[in-house]
Amino acid sequence: MNRQDTSRARQDPVCRAEAELTSLARRRRGFTLLELMVVMALIVVLAGMAMASYRNSVTLAQEAVLREDLFRMRDAIDQYYADKNKYPSTLESLVSDGYLRTLPQDPFTKSASTWQEIPADPDANNPTAEPGVYNVRSGSERMSMQGTPYSEW
């Protein structure tokens, strides 16, 4: 470039803007360490929020499964009583007599053998009769999202 071209570039706004962009592009070819650190910090914060939300949704889903399982087993106990005029001796009786296909797993203990069987009150007319299972509760010792133990549901 000669002197005349240089002076024309200083006066022409398009040429001046082009020269500034070229010089800016040479100076700034990537991100600074600070910019990268800020972006990484934002990603970590968002990931932490997502994990907390995920854990809450998993717990809420497990609570919904527990409610449904308890409802189904209690309904089967009531049907058993309506049909036979006595409560089942164990929860397994509900399966063997066809009131349930299988005994569901407690979603918190991951076992079908941890259900707490609540016995019925003894029959005053027949004190030697086995009272049977009147109710069922979870065997988990954990607390629900509402602050009540699952074993009290």
Where do the structural domains in the chain lie, given as residue ranges? 1-30, 66-152
pLDDT in tens, 39-97: 999 999 999 999 988 989 999 999 999 999 999 999 999 999 999 989 999 999 999 99
pLDDT reported for residue 25: 60
Angle between helices 13-27 and 3-11 (to 10 degrees): 100
| Mean pLDDT value across the chain | 87
Tokens of 2: 């000669």
- 3-state class of 97 per DSSP? coil
Least confident of 6-15, 27-36, 59-68, 114-123: 6-15
pTM for the predicted model, two decimal places: 0.68
Q: For residues 115 and 95, is the Cβ–Cβ distance under 8 A?
A: no
| Residues 118-145, mean pLDDT to the nearest whole number | 88
* Single-letter residue type at 34: L
Instruction: Give pLDDT tens digits for 101-116.
Output: 999 999 999 999 999 9
Alpha carbons 67 and 150: distance in angstroms, whole number: 10
4: pLDDT strictly greater than 80: no
- Please tell me the predicted confidence (pLDDT) of residue 28: 62
